[in-house]
Amino acid sequence: MAVSSLGYVRIGIRDPQEWAKVGQDILGFESATVEDGSVRLRLDEAPFRYLIEEAEAEGFICAGWEYPAVDYDALLAALAENGVDLNEGNVDACAARAVAAFTSFSDPSGNTVEVFHTRDKGSAFSSPLNLNYVADNLGLGHVVLPAMEHALTCEFYENVLGFGLSDELKLPPPMEGVPEMQINFYHADNPRHHSVACFNGPAPSGVIHLMTEYTTVDQVGECLDRVTRAGLPITASIGRHVNDNMLSFYFLCPGGIPMEVGYDGEQFDWSKTEPTYSTVGDHWGHEYNFPE
């Protein structure tokens, strides 16, 4: 049993239109406001990839993972066997996510997780900024989650949820008195290097970062211009990661959500690829600069 891809993410914010504006004008997503005031953002033919919901508590709510319909019952059985408390989504909640069925639960670090099968058929996509994304069967990008219970959480994603290890990265402590940084990167059943990664540190917004991938370096550079012009905080300068070879920069979206904007992520045939164990994160760049 293997997870197919990262299907959607849900984000909470007091004014969803604030996120809609950044999604549309900075990232180039197609934006549509639905009846309950939430905003659906699209970057490919899927019904949506980002669901921005009106909420007092601002930040990342959860990732939604797609599984083949034939594997869905076995997945729920495996979760139950591991003592995970499952909440089955009702008809209205399924409609809001454009899925046939979904179940939510917490991972061992307390991150909310949703798993689903059978997404509604989408429609033709056209970016208001004429941009192109690496998405479709590779999912919307990737998500890096805070995992204070690092070992348990990694084991859960690998052994219960069916992700495959791509790379285990260990970096020296960022400052005195904190442990070494550990990030485990996991792939779904598609060629993207990682769809989820577990980081052994906290995240005030509920997520370490999300990633959107364009198809050319110019689209990344032009996005950097738009971010700069809008005065949004840049949290990492342009650079190239070692493990997925992604050339990217990071900026802060509304609700304190860090977004990696990249291109050139390497794609892999997992039947012919062994996990790597890294001690270097970047070939160059990515000077981190988090606002106080």
Q: Which is nearer to Fe ion, 122 or 281 (CB)?
A: 281
Bridge partners of 101?
117
Q: How far is the CB of 75 from Fe ion (least distance, A)?
A: 25
- Which chain residues interact with Fe ion by CB under 5 A? 211, 260
Q: Which is nearer to Fe ion, 40 or 286 (CB)?
A: 286
Q: Which is nearer to Fe ion, 101 or 145 (CB)?
A: 145
Spatial distance between the Cα atoms of 84 and 224, rounded to a whole number of angstroms? 41
Distances (CA, A) of 36 to 33, 53, 54, 60, 99: 8, 9, 9, 19, 18
Q: Which is nearer to Fe ion, 20 or 145 (CB)?
A: 145
User: Tokens 């009846």 label which residue?
Assistant: 35
Q: Which is nearer to Fe ion, 61 or 211 (CB)?
A: 211
Q: How far is the CB of 142 from Fe ion (least distance, A)?
A: 6
> Do residues 242 and 285 touch, judged by C-beta distance below 8 A?
no
Q: How far is the CB of 121 from Fe ion (least distance, A)?
A: 29
Spatial distance between the Cα atoms of 76 and 84, rounded to a whole number of angstroms? 9
Q: Which is nearer to Fe ion, 44 or 260 (CB)?
A: 260
Bridge partners of 277?
168
Spatial distance between the Cα atoms of 79 and 3, rounded to a whole number of angstroms? 14
Q: How far is the CB of 212 from Fe ion (least distance, A)?
A: 10
Instruction: State which H helix or E strand residue 151 sits in.
Output: helix 150-155
Spatial distance between the Cα atoms of 116 and 199, rounded to a whole number of angstroms? 24
Question: Among candidates 197, 200, 204, which has minimal Cα distance to 260?
Answer: 197
Q: How far is the CB of 246 from Fe ion (least distance, A)?
A: 7
Q: How far is the CB of 198 from Fe ion (least distance, A)?
A: 12
Spatial distance between the Cα atoms of 28 and 219, rounded to a whole number of angstroms? 10
- Reading the block at residue 21, the tokens are 């504006």
